[in-house]
């Protein structure tokens, strides 16, 4: 779903919005058409909470988009802003996408109406019970030096740190096991996390969406704002949360790929296992996703229960075979609809794509060499 810039419609809907000069323009009642969405978010504005409302899209999407509203709109009542933003999103959301979202909502509601949670305390964010004290302290301080004090950075852009308490991991594993037992007993056909994993479950589908929203908004986005601003880290507004399972009778390994996310959180929940190392091979844009790996882009990481790995979704990676035991990981794919829309109109991704950076440096090298050659040529002429 996108809601952005420069897309033409075969049938132009009525105000409140139109397209002008390739930018989305908001036409406000009684205001000139010059008022348009901001190009950059108003970071000083504290958006409204849209939690608890019956919405077609994630409440975080509306909170994120509110920072881009024209200044005259920020003081309007929440319902007015909601109506305005909803019209924008619906206008730029394809019919097929809306149908898919509606069907998935019905599928999810059917599960939630019938599945009885085992550990209800997991379904609401209880930070002091979920996280280790060092992680909470860094989040509360909300400063780069605090984040770095609890993290290792074995490769630029890949951060590892202790995150979850053992008790939380145990409860979540137990809840997933209970859900899978219910699926087996009721013969309910569930959607797996993605096209690559045949085992695992989507946590959002059986009631954990609100808790994971808070995890992204209050705990991952502050870190991403510092370390991943170049890929929309400050505007994360939706997520896909799931667990994956590896073992002899589960998925054994995971092939080389990139995630459908701007920022990925990967936390090992347990249990006892050997093997299953993550391997990283450089950050790439769509154009260069299959380009060669450079020697300085190679990293292997061994999972530790309760410890997290945080990285860009476009950081190419995979998982080696789990040779014994059973490993379960929590994945949170964090996405920014704003970044995805803006990316459509960009051609240079050298701020984060390793291959784009190399191409840019090579162009600069060639340009400098040509300039030096021209200066030497001129310097060799008589009278110059």
pLDDT score for 86:
86
> Confidence class of residue 198 from pLDDT cuts 50, 70 and 90?
confident
Listed in order, strand segments (DSSP E) in 186-321 are 201-202, 238-247, 254-257, 263-270, 273-275, 278-283, 298-301, 307-312, 315-319
Of 62-71, 89-98, 200-209, 253-262, which range is least confident? 89-98
Specify the number of domains making up the chain.
Answer: 2
Same domain, residue pair 86 and 168: no
Between CA 154 and CA 300 the distance in angstroms is: 9
In a domain, 248, yes or no: yes
CATH number of the domain enclosing 224: 2.60.120.620
pLDDT score for 210:
93
> Confidence class of residue 189 from pLDDT cuts 50, 70 and 90?
confident
pTM: 0.77
Same domain, residue pair 63 and 152: no
Reading the block at residue 217, the tokens are: 């908004």
**pLDDT tens-digit series, residues 151-175:** 999 999 999 999 999 999 999 999 9
Same domain, residue pair 200 and 337: yes
Between CA 208 and CA 203 the distance in angstroms is: 6
Same domain, residue pair 172 and 298: yes
**pLDDT tens-digit series, residues 84-121:** 888 888 777 666 767 777 788 889 999 999 999 999 99
Quote the mean pLDDT of the chain: 85
Question: What range defines the domain where residue 134 resides?
Answer: 123-344
In a domain, 216, yes or no: yes
DSSP state of 120: G
Same domain, residue pair 187 and 277: yes
Between CA 133 and CA 137 the distance in angstroms is: 6
pLDDT score for 58:
77
Same domain, residue pair 223 and 132: yes
Element (H, E) at 329: strand 322-335
In a domain, 204, yes or no: yes
Same domain, residue pair 85 and 204: no
Between CA 346 and CA 352 the distance in angstroms is: 13
Residue 234 near residue 221, CB atoms below 8 Å: yes
pLDDT score for 35:
57
Same domain, residue pair 191 and 76: no
In a domain, 380, yes or no: no
Same domain, residue pair 78 and 130: no
In a domain, 368, yes or no: no
Same domain, residue pair 132 and 69: no
């Amino acid at each position: 779903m996108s809601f952005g810039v420069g897309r033409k419609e075969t049938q132009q809907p009525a105000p409140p919005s139109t397209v002008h000069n390739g930018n989305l323009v908001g036409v406000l009642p009684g205001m000139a058409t010059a008022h348009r969405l901001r190009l950059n978010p108003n970071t000083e504005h504290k958006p409204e909470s849209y939690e608890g409302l019956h919405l077609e899209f994630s409440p975080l999407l509306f909170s994120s988009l509110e920072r881009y509203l024209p200044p005259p709109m920020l003081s309007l009542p929440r319902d007015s802003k909601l109506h305005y933003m909803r019209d924008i999103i619906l206008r730029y959301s394809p019919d097929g996408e809306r149908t898919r979202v509606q069907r998935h909502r019905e599928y999810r509601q059917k599960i939630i109406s019938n599945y009885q949670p085992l550990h209800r305390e997991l379904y609401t964010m209880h930070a002091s019970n979920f996280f280790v004290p060092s992680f909470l302290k860094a989040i509360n301080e909300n400063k780069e030096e605090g984040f770095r004090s609890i993290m290792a950075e074995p490769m630029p852009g890949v951060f590892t740190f202790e995150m979850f308490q053992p008790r939380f991991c145990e409860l979540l594993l137990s809840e997933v096991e209970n859900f899978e037992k219910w699926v087996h007993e009721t013969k309910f056909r569930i959607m797996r996390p993605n096209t690559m994993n045949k085992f695992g479950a989507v946590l959002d589908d059986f009631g954990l969406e609100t808790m994971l929203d808070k995890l992204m908004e209050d705990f991952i986005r502050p870190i991403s704002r510092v370390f991943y601003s170049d890929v929309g880290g400050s505007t994360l507004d939706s997520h896909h949360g799931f667990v994956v399972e590896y073992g002899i009778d589960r998925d054994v390994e995971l092939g080389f790929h990139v995630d459908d996310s701007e920022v990925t959180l990967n936390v090992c929940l347990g249990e006892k296992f050997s093997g299953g190392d993550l391997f990283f091979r450089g950050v790439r844009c769509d154009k260069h996703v299959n380009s060669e790996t450079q020697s300085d882009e190679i990293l292997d990481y061994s999972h530790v229960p309760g410890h997290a790995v945080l990285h860009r979704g476009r950081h190419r990676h995979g998982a080696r075979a789990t040779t014994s035991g059973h490993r379960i990981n929590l994945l949170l794919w964090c996405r920014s609809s704003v970044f995805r829309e803006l990316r459509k109109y960009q051609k240079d991704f050298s701020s984060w794509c390793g291959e784009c950076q190399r191409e840019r440096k090579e162009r600069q090298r060639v340009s400098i060499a040509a300039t030096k050659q021209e200066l030497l040529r001129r310097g060799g002429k008589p009278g110059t």
